[in-house]
């Protein structure tokens, strides 16, 4: 067991034993933390703001995510900050272990998101947020060798999220649509752009979650991916997940992911786990 995982477990035990102030938003309305550090689902950023800070309050979130598929393992570790349910800032370290061929790919992601209009629960208009993710590849030799153009890129996105109360068998449902402008290959873990593709491409990302109780949700996501590198196809991503919002300080998410073909290795399917602690 890694020291990072031991520390995460220790944090969870502390948070489970005593509720630590985390803000006045309703439990579950902060979502979870995606693999790039933005509040939302596992693969897709939503319009929600991380933590439970409402007007005049602030919140800090720490997270640890892991994805394991047939030939790769992705580990992410990071922290986020939010204020007033208005904006969030996050920093994420990603490490993609190349389990079959050896070695790893590393990337840092700095994210910002701003809540511009609407409310998740209280207005007919969906909550709408705009965001950006600045990504810096840390060991660019392999992506460059397979045709990536740049080691650094910025994703821009707009997300709309809305909860409909008593929508399905007396349960609440959340729907989210995110439109992303990106140059990233495999979210940037294989660099940005290519000799044939220099500009931004618009991708659609969708999420749906059924809120079974205030503490439990099930859902699914779809993330459209660009296909820019000639050496191998990049396919769209999908997941199904179960989220447990233990309290406002602690949440756990587990799921099944289908990441398609990655770097010429097909049918990358496996698990997704996420642990989040919020103050």
The model carries a pTM of: 0.91
Domain boundary assignment for the chain? 3-278
Residue 198: the pLDDT is 84
Name the CATH architecture for the domain at 3-278.
Beta Barrel (2.40)
Residues 58-82: pLDDT tens digits? 999 999 999 999 999 999 999 999 9
Would the pLDDT of 11 be above 50?
Answer: no
Residue 66, burial from CB neighbour count under 10 angstroms (0-12, 13-18, 19+): middle
Check if the beta carbon of residue 139 is closer than 8 Å to that of residue 166: no
Residue 110's CB is within 10 A of a number of other CB atoms, namely 17
> What percent of the chain shows pLDDT beyond 70?
92
Would the pLDDT of 46 be above 70?
Answer: yes
Q: Where are the beta strands (DSSP E) in the chain?
A: 32-33, 39-40, 58-68, 72-83, 87-98, 104-117, 127-137, 148-150, 152-168, 171-182, 192-194, 201-213, 216-223, 237-247, 250-258, 269-278
CA distance 138 to 95: 10
Residues 234-270: pLDDT tens digits? 999 999 999 999 999 999 999 999 999 998 899 999 9
Would the pLDDT of 13 be above 70?
Answer: no
Residues 180-204: pLDDT tens digits? 999 999 999 999 999 888 899 999 9
Residues 114-142: pLDDT tens digits? 999 999 999 999 999 999 999 999 999 99
Mean pLDDT of the chain: 92
Would the pLDDT of 146 be above 60?
Answer: yes
């Amino acid at each position: 067991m890694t020291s990072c995982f031991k520390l995460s477990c220790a944090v969870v035990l502390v948070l489970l034993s005593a509720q630590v102030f985390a803000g006045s938003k309703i439990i579950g309305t902060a979502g979870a933390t995606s693999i790039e550090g933005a509040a939302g689902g596992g693969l897709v950023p939503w319009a929600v703001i991380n933590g439970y800070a409402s007007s005049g309050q602030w919140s800090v979130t720490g997270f640890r995510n892991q994805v394991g598929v047939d030939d790769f393992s992705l580990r992410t570790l990071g922290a986020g900050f939010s204020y007033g349910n208005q904006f969030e800032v996050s920093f994420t370290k990603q490490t993609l272990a190349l389990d079959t061929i050896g070695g790893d790919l590393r990337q840092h992601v700095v994210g910002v998101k701003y809540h511009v209009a609407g409310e998740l629960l209280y207005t007919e208009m969906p909550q709408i947020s705009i965001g950006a993710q600045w990504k810096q590849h840390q060991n660019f030799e392999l992506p460059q060798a397979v045709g990536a153009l740049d080691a650094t890129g910025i994703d821009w996105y707009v997300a709309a999220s809305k909860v409909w109360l008593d929508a399905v068998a007396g349960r609440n449902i959340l729907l989210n649509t995110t439109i992303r402008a990106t140059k990233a290959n495999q979210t940037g873990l294989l660099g940005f752009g290519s000799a044939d593709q220099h500009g931004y491409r618009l991708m659609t990302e969708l999420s749906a979650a059924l809120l079974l109780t205030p503490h439990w949700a099930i859902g699914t996501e779809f993330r459209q991916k660009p296909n820019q590198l000639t050496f191998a196809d990049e396919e769209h991503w999908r997941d199904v997940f179960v989220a447990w919002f233990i309290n406002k300080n602690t949440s756990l998410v587990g799921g099944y992911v289908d990441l398609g073909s990655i770097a010429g290795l097909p049918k990358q399917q496996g698990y997704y786990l996420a642990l989040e602690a919020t103050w």
